[in-house]
């Protein structure tokens, strides 16, 4: 009896604790601590010490002269260049414009020239420029550098496109979170409509501030606005999908997919050839990477648009929307349909005997 008497108060305290807000608060505290470490780790791993692992360049000229320079560049950057020989400068330049190559190495009689394209990858261009003096001395061939695709002067580090895409990704799912908190009774069509509305307005605001107000980037405004709005909508729908699947814990997979994995692998802050191989491959198939790629091409390579980034954003939006609509009964939001009154269902007969 005494044993049971001792157990009852402790069991009551445990039941009271389970029914209080403290268990969720404890879990959130542990999750946020882990998220802080993962956030710092993912960005540090991807960006702190970028190193070339697969750097595609175009080569023009006889192998007898280009081979020594390629080997010297390999050694100076501690990597292996992915070299492709082109028959003419025009074909090599086309490969750069299509973002299949990041530089052109042309070897002639008196010396050689390395054409870099910072607009295709600022971090790649910086590494190549740093490697040129040592490579030239090692190969004993004069090597000059020419910038054939510069960045806009107001964005010398090439980070502005990453920042505007990052803003669209984060505001996109934060907006969906706020709708789920402050506009919980919205029905599916209404929720989708408001996500689309703040996506259009948010995309316009980002583009207007960066281009018209600050003058940081000269954007092809209509196309950039479309990409930013598409990114905002996709990010908002991704959270809504996870909110449908896992309820109140939807922030965890959304943050993991879009921020911990998507943004470091997007190629915006560090070009894809300098990312760890796994991140470089995954990033192109996630919304942040698709957004950066589409925006990058729109601003600097408008004549060579790629369909893949738009297909990636479309796929994530459609899948998220379908899951939300099909399993909308699992979504924590919404409101019941209004019930018709009994009078509307069974109208009273009129006094003259007519219904």
Phi, psi of 140 (to 5 degrees): 60, 40
Same domain for 174 and 119? no
Q: Give every strand in the sheet of 112-116, ordered side by side.
A: 81-85, 55-60, 103-107, 112-116, 143-147
187 and 237 co-located in one domain: yes
Q: Is residue 168 located within the same domain as residue 316?
A: yes
Do 250 and 324 sit in the same domain of this protein? yes
With respect to residue 335, please indicate whether it lies within any of the assigned structural domains.
no
* Cα separations in angstroms, 70 against 92, 110, 114: 16, 17, 11
Domain at 95, CATH number: 3.40.50
In this structure, the answer to whether residues 291 and 237 fall within a common structural domain is yes
Would you state the pLDDT for residue 76? 85
Look at residue 243 and tell me if it is in a domain: yes
Q: For position 11, what pLDDT does the model report? A: 75
**DSSP structure class, residue 84:** E
Note whether residue 191 is domain-resident: yes
Predicted local confidence at residue 341, as pLDDT: 43
- Whether 279 and 216 map to the same domain: the answer is yes
Q: List the single range of 43-47, 132-136, 244-248 with lowest mean pLDDT.
A: 43-47
**26 in any annotated domain:** no
Same domain, 134 and 187: no
Is residue 143 domain-shared with residue 164, that is, in the same domain? no
pLDDT, residue 32, reads 75
Asked whether residue 111 is domain-assigned, the answer is yes
* % of the chain surpassing 70 pLDDT: 88
Q: Model confidence over 169-212: pLDDT tens digits?
A: 999 999 999 999 999 999 999 999 999 999 999 999 999 999 99
Same domain as 239, residue 217: yes
122 and 167 co-located in one domain: no
Contact 297, 268 (CB under 8 A): no
**pTM of structure:** 0.86
Same domain? 172 vs 291: yes
| pLDDT score, position 274 | 84
Asked which of 147, 180, 208 is the last residue of a domain, the reply is: 147
In a domain, 16, yes or no: no
Q: How confident is the model at residue 17 (pLDDT cuts 50, 70, 90)?
A: low
Among the candidates 147, 176, 191, a domain finishes at 147
Domain of 194 in residue numbering reads as 159-330
pLDDT of residue 2: 53
User: Are 168 and 288 contained in the same domain?
Assistant: yes
Q: Is 116 helix (H, G, I), strand (E, B) or coil?
A: strand
Residue 320 forms part of a structural domain: yes
Contact 320, 238 (CB under 8 A): yes
Burial class (CB in 10 A: 0-12, 13-18, 19+), 105: buried
Residue 237 has what pLDDT?
Answer: 98
Among candidate residues 118, 147, 176, the one where a domain is terminated: 147
Residue 121 and residue 102 in contact, taking contact as beta carbons nearer than 8 Å: yes
The structure tokens listed for 54 are: 């697969």
Closest CA to 101 of 130, 60, 142: 60
CB-neighbour burial class of residue 303 (10 A; exposed 0-12, middle 13-18, buried 19+): exposed
The answer as to whether 341 is a domain residue is no
Number of folded domains that form the chain = 2
Q: Given pLDDT bands bounded at 50, 70 and 90, which one contains residue 338?
A: low
- The pLDDT tens digits for 270-310 are 888 888 777 888 999 999 999 999 999 999 998 888 999 99
pLDDT at 350 over 90: no
């Amino acid at each position: 009896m005494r044993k049971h008497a001792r157990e009852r108060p402790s069991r009551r305290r445990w039941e009271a604790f389970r029914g209080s807000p403290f268990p969720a608060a404890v879990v959130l505290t542990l999750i946020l601590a882990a998220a802080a470490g993962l956030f710092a780790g993912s960005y540090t791993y991807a960006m702190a010490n970028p190193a070339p692992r697969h750097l595609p360049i175009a080569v023009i000229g006889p192998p007898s002269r280009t081979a020594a320079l390629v080997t010297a560049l390999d050694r100076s950057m501690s990597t292996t260049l992915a070299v492709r020989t082109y028959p003419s400068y025009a074909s090599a330049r086309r490969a750069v414009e299509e973002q299949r190559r990041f530089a052109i190495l042309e070897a002639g009689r008196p010396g050689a020239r390395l054409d870099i394209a910072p607009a295709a990858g600022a971090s790649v261009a910086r590494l190549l420029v740093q490697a040129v003096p040592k490579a030239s001395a090692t190969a004993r061939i004069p090597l000059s550098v020419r910038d054939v695709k510069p960045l806009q002067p107001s964005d010398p580090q090439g980070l502005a496109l990453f920042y505007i895409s990052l803003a669209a990704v984060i505001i996109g799912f934060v907006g969906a979170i706020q709708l789920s908190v402050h506009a919980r009774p919205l029905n599916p069509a209404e929720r989708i409509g408001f996500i689309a509305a703040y996506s259009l307005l948010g995309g316009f605001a980002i583009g207007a501030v960066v281009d018209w107000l600050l003058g940081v980037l000269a954007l092809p405004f209509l196309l950039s606005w479309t990409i930013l709005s598409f990114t905002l909508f996709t990010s908002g729908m991704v959270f809504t999908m996870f909110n449908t699947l896992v309820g109140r814990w939807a922030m965890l997979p959304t943050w993991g997919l879009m921020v911990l994995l998507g943004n470091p692998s997007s190629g915006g802050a560090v070009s894809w050839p300098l990312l760890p191989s796994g991140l470089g491959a995954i990033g192109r198939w996630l919304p942040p990477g698709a957004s950066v790629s589409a925006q990058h091409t729109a601003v600097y390579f408008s004549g060579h648009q790629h369909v893949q980034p738009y297909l990636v954003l479309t796929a994530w939006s459609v899948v998220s929307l379908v899951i939300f609509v099909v399993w909308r009964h699992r979504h924590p939001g919404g409101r019941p349909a209004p019930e018709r009154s009994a009078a509307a269902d069974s109208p009273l007969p009129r006094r003259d005997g007519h219904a």
